[in-house]
């Protein structure tokens, strides 16, 4: 179980670290690629926006298609996007790679808590969730520290590119270890994703996160307030779609079943929604 938990904790650590690791590299990126201030904002903000908007969708895909499958897929996308970021020849390629990296993070990140809920019980689960919280904090704190150290080291003349390329060997190890250690997904009946609900919620999150990530650096222009205002009817539309959608009730818990039936997944959803806002707020600060 220790090796299983170690594999699962790679995802939140990497996702959190890469949310801030690029902040210290903006001067170097600007000097080498000739990126403008707006492009540098998108290098940082593109990751955060993609991560926030797709996070809940990633959790839902884990429920419908299996957390192991989605964890490995997310790691693969994240690792490939990290390699592309590190080799990017232009600001446009770097921005696109960062958006793809955020999508991979959104796919792998929620599977960790799902895996903990399914694989651990009692005191072992409490300990695992405690280590999960430590991984989140360590990733957030170490991002800029690790980024600064890698840029200063200038490994093989890679400069700022090392902050992305360092994810490649870690991701490859995580893929191999995950394929060996993560248990096979249950062959349970898969429910379809509520596409209308996902679309409405994604739009609502985008309308909140995008101005939070990019608005402050631009002095909170008019479009940021338009986005905030538009997020209200988008969220109302999401609520309306969920009220009109009769979700099948979970089967009553049997004796000896996991406590709370499907409630761990519902708690998982609350954690993910909170993470959306927590990821966006730090990004609204000034850029180097």
Of 209 and 283, which is predicted with more confidence? 209
Taking only the tens place, the pLDDT of each residue in 179-214 is 999 988 876 545 677 777 777 788 888 888 888 877
Domain positions in the chain: 2-191
Which token pair is 260? 């709370």
Q: Report which of 72, 57, 61 is spatially closest to residue 108, judged by C-alpha positions.
A: 72
Which token pair is 130? 């405690």
Regarding the domain delimited by 2-191, which CATH topology (the fold level of the hierarchy) does it fall under? Growth Hormone; Chain: A; (1.20.1250)
Average pLDDT over residues 238-247: 71
Q: What is the pLDDT of residue 187?
A: 61
Residue 231 has pLDDT above 50, yes or no: yes
Radius of gyration (C-alpha) of the chain in whole angstroms: 19
CA distance 172 to 181: 14
% of the chain beyond a pLDDT of 70: 82
Q: Report which of 52, 46, 54, 50 is spatially closest to residue 92, judged by C-alpha positions.
A: 46
Residue 270 has pLDDT above 50, yes or no: no
The 10 Å Cβ neighbour count of residue 245 is 10
Residue 281 has pLDDT above 60, yes or no: no
Residue 228 has pLDDT above 80, yes or no: yes
CA distance 137 to 134: 5
Residue 233 has pLDDT above 60, yes or no: yes
Which token pair is 171? 């991701």
Residue 264 has pLDDT above 90, yes or no: no
Taking only the tens place, the pLDDT of each residue in 3-34 is 899 999 999 999 999 999 999 999 999 999 99
Residue ranges with strand state E in the chain: none
Average pLDDT over residues 229-255: 68
Which token pair is 225? 């307030």
Q: What is the pLDDT of residue 219?
A: 82
CA distance 282 to 143: 13
Query: Are the C-beta atoms of 46 and 95 separated by less than 8 Å?
Result: yes
Q: What is the pLDDT of residue 213?
A: 75
Q: Report which of 105, 89, 88, 108 is spatially closest to residue 97, judged by C-alpha positions.
A: 88
């Amino acid at each position: 179980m220790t090796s299983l938990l170690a594999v699962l904790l790679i995802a939140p650590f990497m996702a959190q670290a890469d949310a801030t690791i690029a902040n210290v590299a903006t001067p170097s990126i600007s000097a080498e690629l000739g990126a403008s201030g707006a492009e540098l904002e998108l290098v940082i903000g593109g990751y955060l926006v993609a991560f926030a908007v797709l996070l809940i969708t990633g959790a839902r895909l884990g429920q419908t298609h299996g957390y192991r499958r989605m964890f490995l897929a997310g790691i693969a996308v994240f690792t490939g996007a990290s390699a592309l970021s590190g080799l990017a020849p232009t600001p446009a390629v770097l921005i696109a790679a960062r958006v793809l990296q955020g999508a991979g993070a959104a796919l792998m990140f929620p599977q960790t808590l799902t895996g903990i809920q399914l694989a651990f019980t009692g005191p072992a689960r409490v300990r695992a969730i405690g280590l999960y919280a430590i991984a989140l904090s360590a990733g957030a704190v170490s991002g800029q520290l690790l980024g600064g150290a890698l840029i200063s080291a200038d490994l093989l003349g890679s400069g700022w590119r090392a902050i992305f390329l360092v994810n490649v060997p870690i991701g490859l190890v995580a893929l191999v270890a995950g394929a060996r250690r993560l248990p096979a997904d249950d062959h349970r009946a898969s429910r379809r994703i509520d596409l209308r609900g996902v679309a409405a919620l994604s739009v609502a999150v985008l309308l909140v996160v995008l101005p939070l990530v990019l608005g402050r650096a631009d002095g909170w222009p008019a479009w940021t307030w338009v986005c905030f205002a538009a997020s209200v009817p988008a969220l109302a539309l999401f609520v309306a779609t969920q009220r009109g959608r009769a979700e099948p009730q979970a089967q009553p818990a049997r004796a000896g079943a996991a406590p709370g039936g499907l409630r761990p997944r519902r708690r998982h959803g609350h954690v993910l929604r909170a993470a959306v806002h927590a990821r966006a707020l730090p990004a609204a600060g000034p850029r180097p």
